[in-house]
Every structure is written in C-alpha cells, then in structure tokens.
Amino acid sequence: MLPGASCACKGVRSCLVCEHLKDTHLQEDKVVHLFFYDPERKLAVRKDAEPSSFAFPGVFLWENFLSEEEETELISSMDREVWNPSQSGRRKQDFGPKVNFKKKKVRLASFSGLPALSKKLVLRMQQDATLADFQPVEQCNLDYQPGRGSAIDPHLDDAWLWGERLVTVNMLSDTTLTMSLERGLPPLGPGEEVNVAVALPRRSLVALYGEARHLWKHGILRKDVNGRRVCSTYRELSAEFLPGGPQAEQGARLLDVALSFMGAPV
C-alpha cells in the first residue's frame, strides 16, 4: 500500500486503502466466457477448449500513438499538477465542464479548456478516418497504481452529454481493457457473462464507438494493473449539443473553451 494514500471510495466501490476498514461483500460467482480481441481481424476469439469467434465492431486501436519522448513530457506535466483522490484506488485530473447528469445540467464554471499539450495529440487523432471530425470537449486523466488496488468497474459512459466516440491514450504500462456483456449473446444463461479482453499496449490509443460504446460495458480489472498506469480519456459532445440539436448554442460555447487548449484542472 502506498504511504499516505487517501481514499475516495463510496458505496460498493473499494480499494486496498479502505478494504480493511469496511465490510466488502464478495460478488456471486458467475460463469465468464473469456474471449480475446484480434485487432487485425476485428474479431473476439476464444482460446480455450471451445474455439470460436464472433465479429467485434466498434474498437479502434492505434499502437505507438505516442513516442517515448511525448509520454515522458505528458507525465511530467501531469505530475506538476495536483492529483485528486478518486474511487476504486484511482487519482484523477479533470479538464471539462461541471456536469450534473441526474438533472441534466452543464456549467462552464471554472473550465478553461483542455491542457496545452493535448492540442498536438488531438490534431494527430484527426489524421485517421475514424477520428477525422473528433472534437473533444472533456479530458480526464486517471492514475492507477497496484499499491492502491486501482481499478474501474465495468460501466457504460453517459450518452446524454457525451457523444459517439470515447478515446483513451494509455501510458506508462501495458494493460487490458475488459469489455463485458451479460445479455444479448446466445446461449447466455442466468449468471453468465461474456468478457472480451482488449490488450492496450503502452503509448497506444483506443477508441470505442457503436456497439462497443453503447452495448458493451468497459472496465480495467485490478489484476490488470501491474505497474503505474496513467491514461487520458477524451470525450466529444452528443448530437443534442451539436449544430441542429436543442442545446447547440451551449455546445458551441463548450467547444470554444475546450479547444482553446489553455486549460488547468478543475
């Protein structure tokens, strides 16, 4: 455990810092059918006694998106800012508007834009057809360390404010993004789940869209954090906040601020 570590876990969330202080209930055992993502063939491939595969659309992997020098520069810049405690043993830095998802309210508040070093990365993203018109309005930096038991539970990102593509840049160590589905694929029965393990090499970029964004939950399991891992996740606006949408005017203001690239963590 890291000396002086603090904890921001709530509800069922836990980390190694707090687990000895509160009761943690083991989840019920479930049958997990494990597949591995093949980025060249865009297939989920099973590697056990029952070979099989199925199409797995909606994942775009860009290996070596960053150079070693860029990674060093980005981490050094992040570590000069304050890392705030987050849930499940993570730390975070937010560059984005203040959002109340329950009330569907967005405020600029102290949002001053994405950080300056992200400008060249966004321009590079836009060079690929998958991300050609990608305009991020929020960036979240997350710090994972095995000494804190860092992880992020399987989840679906909000779709009211955040748009079609979720883009993450993975730094400092290799990890695995676990995609999970509890229904929709036969022959799943009660308590059964399909997991697709997407290998994320160090300095790679991954984008989720389509079924991988809206149908499959994504998470990082504790066992897959084997060294310090830092990631930056970028989110774009939903159609509601783009031209022609009911909140297009506010969306335009948010983008103007975000893409000034003058931001400090909020």
Residue 26 falls inside a structural domain: no
Bond preceding residue 187 cis, omega within 30 of 0 = yes
In-domain check, residue 21: no
CATH number for the domain that contains residue 226: 2.60.120.590
Q: Averaged over 25-41, what is the pLDDT?
A: 79
CA-wise closest residue to 39 among 196, 151, 184, 147: 196
Strand partners, 142: 92, 231
Distance, CA of 211 to CA of 33 (rounded, Å)? 18
Residue 252 lies in a domain: yes
Domain total for the chain? 1
Q: In this structure, is residue 230 part of a structural domain?
A: yes
10 assigned to some structural domain = no
129 belongs to a structural domain: yes
**Residues of the domain holding 170:** 31-258
Domain assignment present for residue 218? The answer is yes
Band (188; pLDDT cuts 50, 70, 90)? low
CA-CA distance, 101 to 253, in Å (whole number)?
A: 19
pLDDT tens profile 124-147? 999 999 999 999 999 999 999 999
Task: Compute φ and ψ for 32, nearest 5 degrees.
Answer: -110, 120
Residue 25 resides in a domain: no
Given pLDDT bands bounded at 50, 70 and 90, which one contains residue 31? confident
pLDDT digits (tens, 9 = 90+) for 34-76: 999 999 999 999 876 566 889 999 999 999 999 999 999 999 9
Overall average pLDDT of the 1-29 stretch = 60
Mean pLDDT, rounded, for 6-29: 61
Tell me the residue type at 112.
Answer: S
